[in-house]
Amino acid sequence: MTRGAILSGLGTWLPPQVVTNDMLSSELDTSDEWIRTRTGIARRHIASPGMSTGHLATEAARRALKSAGTDRVDVVIVATSTPDRPCPATAPVVASSLGLTGTGAFDVAAVCTGFVYALATAAGLITGQVADSALVIGADTFSTILDPRDRTTRVIFGDGAGAVVLRAGDRAEEGALRGFDLGSDGTGVDLITVPGGGSEQRLSGAEAAPDDHYFHMDGPQVFTRAVRYMTGSVRKVLDTAALAPEDVAHLVPHQANVRILDTCARELGLPAERVVKNIDRVGNTVAASIPLALAAGAADGRLRAGDPVVLTGFGGGLTWGSALLTWPGGLTVIAD
C-alpha cells in the first residue's frame, strides 16, 4: 500500500441573497446582455450584513464533515483572500465553531488558486504522516472589497464557500489525489491586487487613496495569462501520471470567466461537455470556485466513480496550480 490522501467528503454553502444582472443594471452602466456575453454570468450570491468569510466557511465545512460521516479531523485549512481579520487567521475560529478546538488550523492566501494550494498542503500533511485527516475549505466574500461603482469587477464576483474532507488511504483507491502542479510569478503582482492596507503601503509613508482599498484587475492581461498558465499546469500534472488531456474525463477549472474556460478547453483539445461550469449561477467565487464547481458536477451526474478529474486555477500573485484525482464512488455531496 502506498499512503495517499483520499477525498471522502464534499459540502458547499452560498449566502441566501441573490443579485441578478438586472439588479446590477439598475445601479451600473451595464445590462444583462453585456454581462452574459462577456462573462457568462447571470447571477451571484452576496453575503448579507452580519455575515463574514468565517461564517460561510463554517457552514460549508459542516456539510463536508456530514458528507464524510465524521465530526473530527486532524487539521483545518482555510483558503481565502478575504479573511475575517488581517490578524489572526480565520481557520482557528472556524475550527472552534466546529467543535475542533485544539486542532491545527491555518489560512492559505493564493487568491483564486487558494483551494488548489490548500488541497496540496493537506495532501502533503497526510502523505507525510503528520495528519490522518484534513478539512480543506475555500471561502471568500469578495463583495466586501469591490468598488461599488466599478462594473468591470462588480459584475464578476460572488461570495460563497466549499469544503472537502481528506483522509489517509491507499493511493490506488478511488478518491485518491494523484498529483499536483503549483506555480507563481511575482512580477505580475499588480495585475490582480488590492494596493492599500498592507505593510508595503503603510511603511511607504504615504496615505492610501480611497480606491486603493478596492480590488483592481487588468482584465486583458489576466485573460491571456490565465489561459497560458492553467493549460500549461494541466499538462504538467497529467505528465506526472503519464496521461494526456484526452484521458481526462472532466476538467474542473476555477470559474473565472466563461471565455477563459472555453479558450482553455480549446487549447487542451477538450470538448465543451468535459468542462464543468457553474459560473452562470454563482459568478467568480475566488477560493470557493473549484469546490462549488465540483459539487455542481457531482450533482448533475457528470463526475462518476473512477473518472480521472483535473482541477485547475489561476489567481493573484500571480499563482496557478492543478490537481489530479480519481473521482470517488459513493460520495454524497451536501450542498446549500
User: Would you name the residues annotated as active-site residues?
Assistant: 112, 254, 284
Q: How far from each other are the two terminal CA atoms of the chain, in whole angstroms? A: 36
Residue 253: cis peptide before it, omega within 30 degrees of 0: no
Nine cell digits for residue 41:
454570468
* Cα distance between residue 216 and residue 316, in whole Å: 10
From the centroid of its chain, how far is CA 102? 26
- Asked if residue 79 lies in contact with residue 136, where contact means CB atoms within 8 angstroms, the answer is yes
For cell 493549460, what's the residue? 231
Nine cell digits for residue 241:
501520471
The contacts of residue 118 (CB under 8 Å, 6+ apart) are 77, 78, 79, 108, 110, 136, 137, 138, 287
From the centroid of its chain, how far is CA 181? 15
- Asked if residue 268 lies in contact with residue 262, where contact means CB atoms within 8 angstroms, the answer is no
* Cα distance between residue 59 and residue 243, in whole Å: 36
* Cα distance between residue 135 and residue 167, in whole Å: 9
* Cα distance between residue 111 and residue 187, in whole Å: 16
The single-letter DSSP state of residue 176 is B
CA dihedral 5, 83, 11, 293 (to 10 degrees): -90
For cell 461537455, what's the residue? 273
- Please report, for residues 22, 39, 81, 154, 258, the alpha-carbon distance to residue 25 in angstroms, rounded to integers and kept in the order given: 5, 15, 27, 11, 20
